Each structure stands twice: as C-alpha cells, then as structure tokens.
Amino acid sequence: MKFNAKKLTQKGQGVWTVEINGDDWKNAIKKGKSKVAADIEIPGFRKGKVPKAKVEQFLTPAKYLKAAIQVILEDAWEFASAQKSEIQPFTSPVPTPVKISEESCTIDFVFDLKPEIEIGKYTGIKAKELVKQTFEATAEEIDGAIEQYQSRFALEKDKEDLTVAVGDVVVFDFEGFIDDKPFKGGKGLDFRLVIGSKQMIPGFEDAMIGKKIGESTIAVTFPEDYTPELSGKKAKFILDIKTIKQRELPAKDDELAKDLNLPNINTYKELVDFVTSEIIKQKTTNLKNQFVNQVIDIIIANSKIELPKIAIDKEVENLYKEFEARVASQKLTMKDYKKQTGLTDAAIKEELVDDAKRRISSHLVTDKVRNNEKFEFTPEEVAAKYEVLAKQFGVEAEMIKGFLPEDQVKEDLIKEKIIDFLYQNNG
C-alpha cells in the first residue's frame, strides 16, 4: 500500500490517500468475488449452491470490485492511521473510492482538519475567580440523603386528617394556566408526589400544604432559569387531589444500614459516614470541574486559536440537536417552541455560535495539554477504576468489564488526569 496526505486549505479539510495494489488488491478481489458469488440468487438453485458457470454470468466487475473495496477498507484505514501523518483528522473520515481497476484501487479518506492552536500558559495561572474551597456536609444534606435510603422501605398509611402535610404522598390531577390559558406540558393525570421532595418548581409543594381531597387552586411563579417560554411567568394550577397518604419511614438504626445491603456498611454510624463522604466527594468534584472550566476559559483567552467556519457550523448543528432534545424533554416540539418564542432556526443557531466556539476551543486546549504532558496510567489504576464503577452501580467489577470497554475506561482516566493536572497547577 502507498500513502499520501494533503490539506484542502480553502475547504478546511484534509485527505489521506491510500493506493492498494499487488497481492493486497488481488486478495481483496478474490474475497470480493467469493462474497458476491455467495450472495447470488438464481431461481431453481439454493443460495450458495449455484453452479460456477452460472455464477460467472452474474459476476460482473462492477459487483466484485465494489465488494473488494468493502473487504479492504478497514485494512486501508488502519494502514493510513499507522503512518502518523502531521495532517490529523478532527472529524470521522469519510472513505471515497477515486480509482478502481483490476490492478489497483485508490481510496481517499476525507475529513475536517483539526483547528490550529498555539496554546498559551496553562500552569501557574492566578486570577481572583480561581478560588479553591473545601466543603463539609451539612446536617440537612445528610438527613436528606439518608431519607432517600429510608424511602426504599417506606410504608404508606391512610390518614385520619385528610389534609396535605410535609412528607405525605399525594396522588392528584393538575392543569396549569397562564393568563387563563392552558400551556403545553402543564397537565398531568394521577401524578404521584411526595410533599417536600422538591420535585416540582419552587412554591408548588408549599402551596399544596393544607389542601384537602377534591379540587383546589394554587398560584406559583416559574423560576427565571426555567424554559424561555415559561421563565418568570405567573401561573395558576387547578388540582384534583384524589388520595393523601402518610409515609411511615423505617427508623434510622443499624437495621436500616443492614437492609440497604451496601458494601462494608453494617451499622448506622457507618451509613452516616458513607453518606457524608459521598456528599463531600460530589461537592468537591463539582467545585473542581467549575474551577477547571474557569482555568480553560483563561487559557483560551491567552491562546491563538484558528477555528474553520466548517468546524463551527458542524458544532452548532450538534448543539442544536442537543437543544432540540432538551425542548422535547419539556414535552414541546421545536415548532411549538419557535411559535411561543418567536425565534427562527437561524436565530437559535446564531445564539449557539459562541457555545460552539467555546466547546471546540476547550477540546483543543485539553488535547494540547494531554499531548504536551503525555499522561500515563498503570494497569492498577484501570482495575481501581472498574472497582469504583462497580461500587457505584452495586455490581461486581467483572460485570462492569462485560459492557464497558477498557478503552473507554482508559479515556475516562486520561480526562480525570487532565482535570487534576489543571486543578493542581493553577490558582
């Protein structure tokens, strides 16, 4: 095989060209013919049992050369990847056969070029917003987490006083109105809610306290950070409360800890320690990610980055699809969303341009740090990561290995090392 690489600068694309000839191509043609022959169907003959003379009548070059390309494609790609070209793909290459004959085959692998970056300083960065904090778990947070565990074994009992109170389980229908008009996604039937669980928007559950079986009305205001069509708006909800039951939670004791069947947790004190550790771990992770995102923003500002328009446009399309999924999660179609907000596809995508640039630039920064620092990991670290995931999902490590490829685990480890590096070496 022969290899060549070139840039199509005006298009922001690169091409890896692989020419296949000699025995490589002869063997591919041979396999291609066999593949086509095995798939030929002729009336009166079973598939794969057609006489050779009959097969030859249907075995045209157009068919078997096309099959030969499919046979050799993976080998051609692996050969191209092994050449360690300075021209590297930023997106998945698209294979395009450009020349095919009995003697040779030439395939172009076309891809978008990786945007250029001259990275600025990425260690020793000091800024007022780069503050490293330490966290503690509050008593309220610990109680809330343990209550989640208690809820697994909660009993629901009829109440003598059928009035909604904190902790009750209420089943009800509801419909929301803004300016006396129902709005999309504001209706629910036989909805089950634990009062105080903060499942609904702020103020909704508090307004239900004291309500009784039957119809009633509550008023709430949607948060400012809610979906654009409802953000900050006042709404009225008509409720039809069907049942109110009192929850009876198990005691906070050693029996609860044992019933949960968590690894190495047999006493209530061990459960509290575990919950406390998990809360602090989650808070620290969130803080670290926030800190590193701020560091990356500073690095981007101090780096020279050239982003081809084609790369930005493709990332905008990716972000648009993600936005579309979020809108759908609110039980809205994009058509309804655009009608309510007055926005067009073009306007929505224009708002996503900065996010697209930031996402690509962030990837370039972390990729450059990764290549410069040459992070490595040991087999022990990979095994430990599987153990952490196993504990997280409550299964054996071997089961995790069955559905989570080692390459993905290694990639996650590298990402963690990049975050740790930028966190430890800045601020």
pLDDT in tens, 351-377: 999 999 999 999 999 999 999 999 988
Q: Which span out of 7-21, 223-237, 360-374 was modeled with the highest average pLDDT? A: 360-374
Q: Which fold has domain 155-248?
A: Chitinase A; domain 3 (3.10.50)
Mean pLDDT of 104-125: 92
Domain 261-424's class?
Answer: mainly alpha
Q: What is the pLDDT of residue 359?
A: 95
Portions of the chain given CATH number 3.10.50.40:
155-248
Q: State how beta strands 94-100 and 304-306 pair.
A: unpaired
Cα gap 264→274, rounded to integer Å: 10
pTM reported for the whole predicted model: 0.68
Residue 285 has pLDDT above 80, yes or no: yes
Give 328-354 pLDDT, tens digit per residue: 887 778 888 888 788 899 999 999 999
Residues of the chain with CATH 3.30.70.1050: 2-111
Distances (CA, A) of 38 to 32, 33, 42: 10, 9, 11
Q: In whole angstroms, give the CA distance from residue 289 to residue 301.
A: 18
CA pair distance 47, 35, nearest whole angstrom: 12
Angle at 246 between CA 244 and CA 248, to 5 degrees: 155
If one looks up domain 2-111 in CATH, what number appears?
3.30.70.1050
Q: What is the DSSP string of 6-33?
A: EEEGGGTEEEEEEEEEHHHHHHHHHHHH
Q: Is the confidence at residue 46, as pLDDT, over 80?
A: no
Residue 44 has a pLDDT of: 61
The reported pLDDT for the residue numbered 233 is 93
DSSP letter (8 states) at residue 252: S
Task: State the span(s) of the chain assigned CATH 1.10.3120.
Answer: 261-424
3-state secondary structure of 103: coil
How confident is the model at residue 34, as a pLDDT? 85
* Residue in 217, 197, 230, 191 with CA at minimum distance from that of residue 341: 230
**CB burial readout 72-98, b (16+ within 10 A) else e:** bbeebbebbeeeeeeeebbeebebeee
> The tokens of 2 are what?
């022969």
pLDDT given at position 328? 86
Residue pointed to by tokens 């399309």: 317
The total of other beta-carbon atoms located within 10 Å of residue 3's CB is 14
- pLDDT per position as a tens digit, 78-94: 999 999 898 988 778 99
pLDDT score of 181 more than 80: yes
CA 375 – CA 380 distance, rounded (Å): 15
